[in-house]
Amino acid sequence: MEIVPAILAESLDVFVTRLRRAEKFVHYIQIDIMDGKFVDTQSLDPEMLNHITITVPFEIHLMVEEPLKALMSIRNPSLRKAIFHVEAAGDPLEFIKRAEKRGLDVGLAIKPETPLDSFEDLAQHVDTLLFLTVDPGRYGSPFKSEVIQKLLSAQQSLSHKTIGVDGGVSFDNLPVLYDAHVDYVCIGSRIFLDGVPEENYKKFNEWLIQLEISK
């Protein structure tokens, strides 16, 4: 399992501050893009990423109504993976085609209430399944443990996919996610909002090492 810091920011200044901090201690990040429609919160315009030097590879989590439009506006060379929501508008196969044409990995994000049978076929066409374990759009939302069962069911039929979990990840529930064989977890508020981000990231990785030793 890998710990991936997730940057969610409603202003450019906050985004750049968190980005520059994260670049000092990680090799990969997730950047959340929100349009204020698909979720209530709005982040910086995705096109702004083209004007910011990002020194580590990153994935984008597109919490937007029109993910293809957002993707096509992003040309940052450090982008490695584009994740869109199964619940969003537009043609998902066209999104996948356009992303892969650019050499990007593609991920499918799933809200907590979305049933497995509504995305199982589409999931065959992507690299990653990102299970949201919170209601999306804000740091600090409560963890929804019921998503774990959906994740485990998906692994039975989609065992070759990279599995990610996004939202509400803590020291308390990390063992459950580890036992579920999750490949990576995205952590935002518990890295960036309380204490020192570098130290928080280090503590999560130390806890992960302890889990690996104990198994």
Q: Where are the domains of the chain?
A: 2-214
In this prediction, residue 90 has a pLDDT band, given cuts at 50, 70 and 90, of: very high
Q: Which two tokens stand for residue 179?
A: 């036992």
* CATH classification code of 2-214: 3.20.20.70
Mean predicted confidence (pLDDT) in 108-124: 95
pTM: 0.95
H or E stretch including 83? strand 79-85
Q: Which two tokens stand for residue 160?
A: 């070759």
In this prediction, residue 127 has a pLDDT band, given cuts at 50, 70 and 90, of: very high
Here the contacts of 98-102 (C-beta below 8 Å, separation 24 or greater) are 98/68, 98/71, 98/72, 99/71
